Amino acid sequence: MSLTLAELLAPMDPARFFAEYHDKQPLLVRGTPGKFAGVLSWRGIDRLLDQSHIWSSHSLKMQMDGQAVPPEAYCVRATSRDNAPVLQPHAERVREWVARGATIVLNDVDSLTPGLASVSRALEDAGLGRAQANVYISFQAHKAFPSHFDTHDVWAVQVEGEKSWNIWSGRADYPIAHPAFRSLGQAHHDRSKGELKEKVLLRAGDLLYLPRGWYHDALAEGATSVHVAYGTNAVLGVEFAQMLAERAMGDPQFRAPLPRQDGTPSAQFALTQRAAQLGQKLAEFARDPAVLQALAKHVAEARFPRGGNHLLGARGLEPPRGVEDASPAVDGEAPAFRVIAGEAKPVRRGAEWVLKTGAGATSLSPQEAEAAGWILSRRDVDPAALRAAHPTVDAEALLSRLKQAGVLAAA
């Protein structure tokens, strides 16, 4: 699965985004229910959670009404595959907390499926920096986090249900992932968030962009909500300073001791002079074409390693392939479909049946009408499940027709 920034922002042009919104102000982009159907689904969430050995109390967290659920409450002590002790989420305990309304947070998931990776890749390809992703699975009327800011730009991709976001007028001045910013208490955030700027409701297919440091909080409005929060970490000035420090290591002037201080004016003057000399030398490093070339390369290549494996291709047994060849289907299974037009319904017209949608009507046989009703009662469906439930129907053909009618989207 392959995406571009233009597809994420559509119908907005990326040039307008960079001119008016990037690092300047929040942006809400309305989309169709099927726009992000291939990114993640309930079926995909269950499959991820069923890979129990990849999860720990660090990678899977739970929140309840603004407070973190203690790991011991939803995890069990287990032994990892390499015989190390680990706190591992336990399905039954997780279900108990979900029944109470707790939010599940799946951290650093951007390489786990082609769908999740497609958005991270699109953001990185646009030069927005290293992109990671967390999944937030929330339930009605339970807020996971109080008002806060993030130390990266946020791209909230709503894939299921609805979530209401409060966007406040306050913005922290370029916070970074450093204890100086992470140690700020909730009282500070409540004072600094400012007045309510906007309240927006995200529905499946919508995207919300928030610049780094912008205060916000969110609450699931419908029965359920799933959004993937992609964080883009642009290259910072402190990284350039670190590059200059590495360059300085090769210069004897920076390896020499600084003037000893004995409290006399002459000693203080000597230190001031040496500091000025070293500062001038750093300025020369910053103008060095080789340093600037290395900096440009560092900024251009700011992305997390993700994917790229093709073992048969490495042996010359298959032709090379690009990222667009990645498929969300698992182990050769036919792809699933997300139901995106739940208001559609089969209607009888005399001896005929049709499926009425907002875009028109699709003719159905009596068996297809029954199968269509069954499909519309579900969140997603695949050919195997449809064949098992309605063996007299051509599953692939019916699913294809419903997709063309705008009722289904590939998941």
The pLDDT of residue 360: 82
So what CATH class is 329-410?
Answer: alpha beta
Helix axes 289-300, 237-248, angle to 10 degrees: 140
Say which CATH architecture domain 5-233 belongs to.
Answer: Sandwich (2.60)
Note the pTM of the prediction, 2 decimals: 0.83
pLDDT at 299 over 80: yes
The pLDDT of residue 394: 95
Question: In degrees, to the nearest 5, what angle opens at C-alpha 126 toward C-alphas 125 and 131?
Answer: 70
The pLDDT of residue 66: 85
The pLDDT of residue 358: 77
The pLDDT of residue 322: 58
Q: Quick: pLDDT tens for 59-104.
A: 999 999 889 999 999 999 988 777 888 899 999 999 999 999 999 9
The pLDDT of residue 12: 96
For residues 62 and 142, the answer to whether their CB atoms sit within 8 Å is: no
Helix axes 237-248, 265-287, angle to 10 degrees: 110
The pLDDT of residue 334: 53
Q: DSSP 3-state assignment of 156?
A: strand
In this prediction, residue 326 has a pLDDT band, given cuts at 50, 70 and 90, of very low
Q: Quick: pLDDT tens for 221-269.
A: 888 999 999 999 999 999 999 999 999 999 999 999 999 999 999 999 9
**Average pLDDT, stretch 136-140?**
90
For residues 339 and 375, the answer to whether their CB atoms sit within 8 Å is: yes
pLDDT at 218 over 50: yes
The pLDDT of residue 248: 97
**Would you say the CATH fold of 329-410 matches that of 5-233?**
no
In this prediction, residue 310 has a pLDDT band, given cuts at 50, 70 and 90, of confident
- What are the domain boundaries of the chain? 5-233, 329-410
**Average pLDDT, stretch 321-330?**
47
The pLDDT of residue 243: 96
pLDDT at 396 over 70: yes
